[in-house]
Amino acid sequence: MKVTDVKMEVYRWPRHKPIRNGRYTYSTSGLNVVKIETDEGVTGYGYSGGVQGAEEIGISILDYMKQFVVGQDPFDNERIWDELWQPKLVGRRGITTRVISGIDIAIWDIKGKVANRPVHKMLGGFADKIPVYIAGGYYEEDKGLEDLAEEMEKAVSMGADAVKMKIGGASINEDVERVRVVRDAVGPNVKLMMDANCAYRYFEAIDIAKKVERYDVYWFEEPVNPDDYEGHRLISRSTHIPVATGENEYTRYGFRDLIQNRCAAIIQPDALIMGGITEFMKVAALAQAHDLPLAPHGKQEVHIHLVTAIPNGLILEYYSDSTDPMWNNMFNEQLKVENGYVFAPDRPGIGFEPNEDALAQYRVA
């Protein structure tokens, strides 16, 4: 089997309302689809972390990289990855690594389809299901505390027993009150995560962590900038709330430094950003060697395979229609939350192909 073509299709659509985290406002959502075709008629679909406004850059990078993929056997994923990641030429982090991620995920989709096995079985098949949390709790115009509480209650009603909310976009005391309201809304038995999206300096993060400890916060995500390893370590030593981070880290080398510096208790790689499935599995093994659990960030349709394949998979992030109006129509299948868990799919490959009919009107590149 040989690869005959590699291409990317980009889709963008408006959200119900613009949403804001601790630092950024997002008015659209989207999907970057990497499609790899082979001479045996098997097509692989991969998904790449996108940068709004830089779609053409991503496509240009992919057009450059396809020379290292076309003509290759998809089962040689290690060799393909190594040829793609030449940091002197294409950069160590950022859009180039995100494009590599999409290519690599599509290659694993092909491998699973040819083997007639789901990717989580190809990778190790440690578990058939994984606990799940609903991500949300963004800031929105005219969204008050009652609305926030109602959103979190709805998330729990979906069948989840864990939720995540945003902080860092208001004053510390305002966010402490928001955390209190959510804890009261979901009750004492639901896990509550808070995510600052790198909004704080380390001493501000320590301040809010101490103030919300009484609300039994399950983890404190991305309190400071990803390169502030010492800040992460100081925060970790100042609170009993576990620090979680990694969604903006790249490759095994970045995670090596993150882990060696003991920056976090929970590691959060995103396979669509940090180098794809091939690289994710190296990070998972590195974390396991340090007795650290993984809770991947981002696309649940990909990460359900990865978090169930490994012994140190902790929990799956899950996005619903509260943050994305295409949640139920983006793919040909959907993951369902059942009694706090999501079950790994049994379809070959990734098992989630883009719903091209529904997406067609939103194609931008």
By C-alpha distance, which of 308, 334, 338 is closest to 321? 334
Note if 166 is an active site residue.
yes
> How far is it, in rounded angstroms, from Cα 257 to Cα 251?
10
> How far is it, in rounded angstroms, from Cα 209 to Cα 8?
42
Residue among 166, 191, 232, 305 flagged as catalytic = 166
Residue 64 identity: Y
**Strand duo 43-47 + 162-166: pairing:** unpaired
Q: The tokens of 240 are what?
A: 């009993």
* 3-state DSSP assignment of residue 13: strand
In DSSP terms, 349 is beta-bridged to 118
Residues 6+ apart with CB under 8 A from 148: 137, 165, 178, 181, 182, 185
Residue among 297, 299, 303, 305 flagged as catalytic = 297
SS3 for 188-250 is CCCEEEEECCCCCCHHHHHHHHHHHHHHCEEEEECCCCCCCHHHHHHHHHHCCCCEEECCCCC
> How far is it, in rounded angstroms, from Cα 102 to Cα 124?
21
Residue 36: what are its φ and ψ, rounded to 5°? Answer: -115, 125
Say if residue 342 is exposed, middle or buried (CB neighbours under 10 Å; 0-12, 13-18, 19+): buried
Count of beta carbons in the 10 Å neighbourhood of residue 29: 22
Taking a C-beta distance cutoff of 8 angstroms, is the pair 237, 288 a contact?
Answer: no
Q: Which residues are catalytic?
A: 166, 297
